[in-house]
Structure 1
């Protein structure tokens, strides 16, 4: 007996209804991207390993899927390496490529490789799948889509202001209320590390701090201690764990805490600028919130850091994130090109919209009208009408087989088709069509022009 087929953990099949709902999100985000002036690009699903490795920190590197070299890849391996079973050394010998972990590092590679063709500042958006060897759980998959927008070639903080507006515009278009756009600044984190005497432990400090909402305050402190951050320094962090209040009141408190850190005060100044601008411009549905514990443990952020939280009524991790990176292209030899970008987590946004019943009811519509098949002559007559309907922007289909009438009508019902057309001997002789409204039950004999107009007029709004 053949083994039942399966798919890898952390991946999914999507049925027609799910694809339609995903496309609704894609199209909404794409429309806002274009409204804000972003241009589309695409990059390969896999990159050279050297492009990706070392860009996401130790934890990120461990989650990169490596691709085995083609051919007899083991022939390149030294017997000593093979014998010692050193996975890191072995991997470098048998794998030269890897699936992309995100879209940001490949974008930096793209900018450097195509710098002479790009007009700076360059605003790009990219909507493609990425892969991470993570532990699958609700809202976390090994293969998932990211929808990114970035601007490179400008240090202006107006870009950060626009990205806050962009987030708000997308979630407004999706009718998703109660979203919180959390913001912090990497310079503030650097300033905190400086104040507590952990400048040389910045990465360890930020990685641990970024886990606060997942593992809690005490576990974060334990991790910091295990990484060599002194207890005296951790004690100085206590005001940050309890920092609350309005955006502006937190800013004022930070000015006191970071009064001795030039870097920290610069970060505060940048956040204050963004908040003042947003207050003046106003947001539709989202709220901007300062979160000084937000770190997003990625090494390349240098300024503002964003993370988007779903409405509190939904148990879900972040549904978006991003930040400023002042010299990401420098890792590929192009220095002093500042950039800032954000990402939407399509899969998690899907789950949130599904849980809150925010998808439009008609989103899964496939066709407007189904022609019942009574035989070859009737089918040919119907196809001539179907051609006209399609040219008029109406989605029309002929049932392929001359099956029993009941079976064809049940097919229309299961697919939620709003109209069916019946063409028999009488209709062919009079050059008319019998149109049945599957919602109201009304049935009319009409001409082809009337058929077109009636379907356009009475079909549900999509």
Structure 2
């Protein structure tokens, strides 16, 4: 039998034990903030029905959905002419009824509709699960990656949007990030801009183009707008809006003048102002300042079709990386599944990108590299039997502990502790068993102390 060289699909990764400790540090930090704001955890299946996902992300998004082949002989009932046409798109509906989830928001909308009789509205949930996209792998972009989502449905209050700004600020600050930007915009403002230049029917084309300003620059955006049906006169009107600068307050003042003839645009401005006002009130007691991290960005459009109100995107300024979070308000997303007029708003953290950022900036706390706090050495059978009750005593106190599984040279056991970054080793020889005082070695400093088992427990609990 041929030997197969082991490999994994492009855009996926294995995670070692030390990496998982760091990843869980991210997940635990974010989920603790979600819980603080009243969000409860749910999970949905890895696979969804294909018709649940398609049509929710736009044409570009639909192309990135990983389809799952039907079980069994899925080609047996397909007419010969379809097979001979060699048109994979035409065959998809015949050979695939399921797909890997593209994000967590659409499955959440499906969940809400299916469980609407069992949940109370407004319903606040969070999910931390992997998603899959058939994208071209590159730095910071993977085909399999985790999202950390929080959504609330059944509430029109803009307090939710203000709290999402605070959630982003608190979670990223707890993870050690200092220089990051929470960008905010409103799709109603973008609709108003399309209205005043007389091209409301091209709102999607306009937003897709101006959303690329950071990537392709102003000249690239202008070229794409022309290709999408905008005239030179339209672009002259758009330029000062696209290049809007100044403080958030100054931008809003300018937009009020520009969009004075658009009720839709003015409504979007009013919603942004309400969010800013809520933030002022929410942070007045704690003196938390989010202003320096919050930016009104009119070019922020995001490619997903379902946003109808506020839009969020988060970027770190400390590392060259794409967005590490995003989200927004969506009206009637559940209407696609038969439950109309249920508004929602949600955000997502890109955990994999955040991992790469923290790794590059060396922001993971030292404690995240520890999987075991103390190793008990194993010199011989007698020492092993002596150590076992102590091993369980340590674990009963909540101290992660292990015993070297066989008696061998001390050097090998110390190398094992070093490789696993175990900070303490308990040495138990004949002298220790006789006196009851055990040798505790600090692997970082090399310091050794003779302590009773109770003293060791107390010391490790306080480290």
SS of residue matched to 1:73 = coil
Aligned length: 457
Structure 1 stretch displaced more, 113-122 or 275-284: 275-284
Moved more, 30-39 or 399-408: 399-408
Q: Is this contact kept in 2: 1:319–1:348, CA < 8 A?
A: yes
Shift of 1:280: 4.2
For residues 177-203 of structure 1, the C-alpha deviation after alignment (integer angstroms, 9 at most, x for no partner) is 111110100111111111222222222
State which of 444, 455, 458 in structure 2 corresponds to 1:450: 455
Q: Which stretch shows the higher mean deviation, 300-309 or 401-410?
A: 401-410
Residue range with higher mean Cα deviation, 408-417 or 44-53: 408-417
Q: Does the CA-based 8 Å contact 1:193-1:201 persist in structure 2?
A: yes
Distance 1:355 1:436 in 2: 32
- Counterpart of 1:410 (choices 406, 415, 418) is 415
Q: Does 2:241 correspond to 1:235?
A: no
Contact 1:329 1:335 in 2 (8 A): yes
Is the CA contact 2:18–2:371 (under 8 Å) kept in the aligned structure 1? no
Corresponding residue for residue 148 of structure 2: 147
> If the length of structure 1 is used for normalisation, what is the TM-score?
0.95
SS of the residue 1:208 aligns to: helix
Asked if residue 244 in structure 1 is aligned to residue 245 in structure 2, the reply is yes
Corresponding position of 1:338: 343
Residue 3 of structure 2: SS of its match in structure 1?
coil
Task: Establish whether residue 133 from structure 1 lines up as the match of residue 138 from structure 2.
Answer: no
Q: Is the 8 A contact 2:47 2:99 kept in 1?
A: yes
Kept after mapping to 1: 8 A contact 2:67/2:98? yes
Distance of aligned partners of 1:402 and 1:284 in 2 relative to their CA distance in 1, 3 Å threshold: farther
- Runs of at least 4 residues off by over 6 Å: none
- Greater CA deviation, 277-286 or 49-58? 277-286
- Alignment pair present for 1:369 and 2:374: yes
Cα separation, 2, equivalents of 1:406 and 1:240: 68
Deviation per residue, 1:70-123 (Å, 9 max, x gap): 111112322222222222211111110111110000000000110011100011
> Contact conserved, 2:210 with 2:242, CA < 8 A, in 1?
no
For 1:4-43, what aligned pairs fall within 5 Å after superposition?
4-43=5-44
Is contact 1:433-1:445 (8 Å) kept? yes
| Conservation of the 8 A alpha-carbon contact between 2:395 and 2:401 | yes
Counterparts of residues 160-239 of structure 1 (less than 5 Å) = 160-239=161-240
Question: Any idea what the Cα deviations from partners look like across 1:52-81, whole Å, max 9, x if unmatched?
Answer: 000000000001101111111112322222
Give the Å deviation of 1:42: 0.4
The unaligned stretches of length 5 or more in structure 1 are none
Q: Distance in 1 between matches of 2:421 and 2:81?
A: 65
> Is the counterpart of residue 293 in structure 1 residue 294 in structure 2?
no
1:205-232 deviation per Cα after TM superposition (whole angstroms, max 9, x unaligned) = 2222222211222222222222233343
Instruction: Name the structure 2 match of 1:49.
Output: 50
Once residues 325 and 388 of structure 1 are traced to their aligned partners in structure 2, the CA distance between those partners, rounded to angstroms, is 53
Greater CA drift, 224-233 or 289-298: 224-233
Higher mean displacement: 68-77 or 132-141:
68-77
Q: Which residue in the other structure is 1:76 paired with?
A: 77
TM-score, with structure 2 as normaliser: 0.95
Query: 1:101·1:132 contact (CA, 8 Å) conserved in 2?
Result: yes
- What is the distance in 1 between the residues matched to 2:449 and 2:218? 69
What SS is found at the alignment partner of 2:76?
Answer: helix
CA distance in 2, matches of 1:100, 1:231: 41
Q: 1:247, CA displacement in angstroms?
A: 0.6
- For 2:230 and 2:336, how far apart are their aligned partners in 1? 28
Listed as ranges, the gaps of 5+ residues in structure 2 are none
Question: SS state of the match for residue 75, structure 2?
Answer: helix
